[in-house]
Amino acid sequence: LLVVIFAVVLGLNLRQNTDQLKPTFIARCEEFKGYDCDKIWDAFEQAYVGRDPCNVPMEAYDPFIAAAPLKPTCNRMMFWSKTKDIVHDFTEKTDCYLTVEDSLLGSVLDGLTWCGKEGSSETFTTGCPGWTDCVNNTVRSFWNRVSTAFADVACGAVTAMLNGSIVTPFHPASIFASIEVKRFDYPRVKSLNVVLVTQENTVTNCTNASLKDLQKELDQGITYTCKEVTETQIQDCSSHPEKPCGACW
């Protein structure tokens, strides 16, 4: 009897695991018209199913990325670091900028956790390694890979929302610094415009040392600007989507 109970519980668990991620993925995918979401899901699964969740290199996601290529939207691409909530509140409510999480590939997996297991064909959503548990973990490798693809198609004037409430808004370990900025090539990318999100009692401004490092990193020819904008100003812009895009900063 115990064995039966164990098998049933295990079976339900596996079922639940698969049942959690796929429907969310498919439903979010279907918001984008003209894609074969089942085919995209299959390409996604190929990356990690049956693999050690700490040994999924970025390249494992190449077929998934190829299944729904990111489209360049020159002058409207928004990068960010440590500003997730405010940037997405803004991009959702206004029609000015697009982040990677607004693209099909980013949106289907935003906020989710998944991994596989050696010798299993299942997708798990619990018990997966955390972001810093191992370098090549399932989730982190995906965000590294999709961020690479997003930065590779960036063009024209590029915007980045950085966090002015921390000492190092341009942190070398961030995806923005370690992957995205390195892929901004002139003349494809013409300018990088930093929006430094500040509070009223601000810690950091555009003279910050890490922002000097950012300027040094930029490819010759790319123009750099930085503007301090309070969180309140950005929230005001989010609640007035009828305002022209240039009116916020």
Question: Rule CB under 6 A: which residues touch ligand APR?
Answer: 79-82, 84, 99-100, 131-132, 143, 147, 150, 174-176, 180
Q: Two tokens at 98?
A: 């697009």
Instruction: Name the residue nearer to ligand APR (CB basis): 6 or 131.
Output: 131
Q: How far is the CB of 7 from ligand APR (least distance, A)?
A: 34
Q: How far is the CB of 114 from ligand APR (least distance, A)?
A: 13
Which residue has the CB atom at the shortest distance from ligand APR? Answer: 131
Q: How far is the CB of 145 from ligand APR (least distance, A)?
A: 11
Interatomic CA distance for residues 45 and 60, integer angstroms: 10
Count CB atoms within 10 A of the CB of residue 229: 17
Q: How far is the CB of 146 from ligand APR (least distance, A)?
A: 7
- CA distances in angstroms from 150 to 78, 106, 229, 244, listed in the order given: 10, 10, 25, 25
Q: How far is the CB of 242 from ligand APR (least distance, A)?
A: 27
**Strands, E assignment, the chain:** 78-81, 156-163, 189-198, 223-230
Instruction: Name the residue nearer to ligand APR (CB basis): 14 or 179.
Output: 179
Instruction: Name the residue nearer to ligand APR (CB basis): 36 or 92.
Output: 92
Q: How far is the CB of 113 from ligand APR (least distance, A)?
A: 9
Residues 197 and 163 sit within 8 Å (Cβ to Cβ): yes
Instruction: Name the residue nearer to ligand APR (CB basis): 132 or 220.
Output: 132
Interatomic CA distance for residues 212 and 77, integer angstroms: 22
Instruction: Name the residue nearer to ligand APR (CB basis): 174 or 238.
Output: 174
Q: Two tokens at 19?
A: 């049942």
Interatomic CA distance for residues 139 and 104, integer angstroms: 16
CA atoms within 13 A on the CB side of 153: 19
Residues 211 and 169 sit within 8 Å (Cβ to Cβ): yes
Instruction: Name the residue nearer to ligand APR (CB basis): 94 or 159.
Output: 159
